[in-house]
Amino acid sequence: MATLIEFKKVTKAYQIGEVKIQALAGVDFSISEGEFVVILGASGAGKSTILNILGGMDTASSGHVFVGDQEITGWSEKKLTEYRGEQVGFVFQFYNLIPNLNALENVEFATEVCKDHLDARDILHKVGLANRMKNFPSQLSGGEQQRVAIARAVAKNPALLLCDEPTGALDYVTGKSVLKLLQDLNKETKTCVVLVTHNSAIAPMADKVIRVKSGRIESITINDHKQSVEGIEW
Ligand SMILES: Nc1ncnc2c1ncn2[C@@H]1O[C@H](COP(=O)(O)OP(=O)(O)OP(=O)(O)O)[C@@H](O)[C@H]1O
């Protein structure tokens, strides 16, 4: 598989008054097209910082980030906005749906600005919400709202689907079904999924596991025999 993402010697420092926080202290890794990657680490390790830089929401202090054959480090805000809009789908712990739009409208609203988007109804079907398209977020359970959020991200037909603790607000069973949905979508659409979590138990579902500790890469493991989410317990 061709390389989709490369981080080379990426650092990120935040200056808060006199205090400098080194969130990333030289991070190197690569991700191939179609891979399901789990980024693992304790709180404060730097996981979200990696995801935010990858998604063009934050920029590296030094180092190089490549997506496809383009180096995104050094891009203007305008170019990063285009990149976020066209190439990246985001799923967060909290679903961030627009309360006064129904499920279908939430997905359509996100795809309006994308050239190559997929059909919102088809995707809502795929995530198991064919009968709930006209419901508003307040009429949906947490798991259902997260499915809408995933549909909204996937409908953009992004090169990259970035998920930051997507099951963090869900109970065990619902969380597992959301992970299964992400695993199935990755298999079907070949969209590269990068999922950040502190739950090491879900590592076996990934093609690649990147462990982060104190702003550095602790280890990178390839699962030759990745497991289906149904077969994993925690
Ligand atoms: N905008 C910011 N300003 C200042 N410090 C920040 C900022 N964002 C992150 N940090 C710091 O950078 C370090 C890494 O944070 P990051 O959010 O990447 O960790 P994380 O592994 O995602 O943690 P968690 O699992 O708790 O979300 C932490 O020390 C954090 O306090």
* Ligand 1 atom closest to Cα of residue 196: 22
pLDDT digits (tens, 9 = 90+) for 143-193: 999 999 999 999 999 999 999 999 998 899 999 999 999 999 999 999 999
Cα of 39 vs centre of ligand 1, distance in Å, is: 14
Q: ipTM, 2 decimals? A: 0.96
- Kindly state if the Cβ of 49 falls inside 6 Å of ligand 1: yes
Cα of 60 vs centre of ligand 1, distance in Å, is: 14
**Neighbouring-strand partners of residue 3:** 32
Kindly report the average pLDDT of the chain as a whole number.
Answer: 94
What are the chain's domains? 33-62+74-231 (3.40.50.300)
Contact predicate 55/89, CB 8 Å = no
Closest alpha carbon to 146 in 159, 129, 122, 121:
129
Residue having the nearest C-alpha atom to atom 17 of ligand 1: 48
- Kindly state if the Cβ of 48 falls inside 6 Å of ligand 1: yes
State the CB neighbour count (10 A cutoff) for residue 16. 7
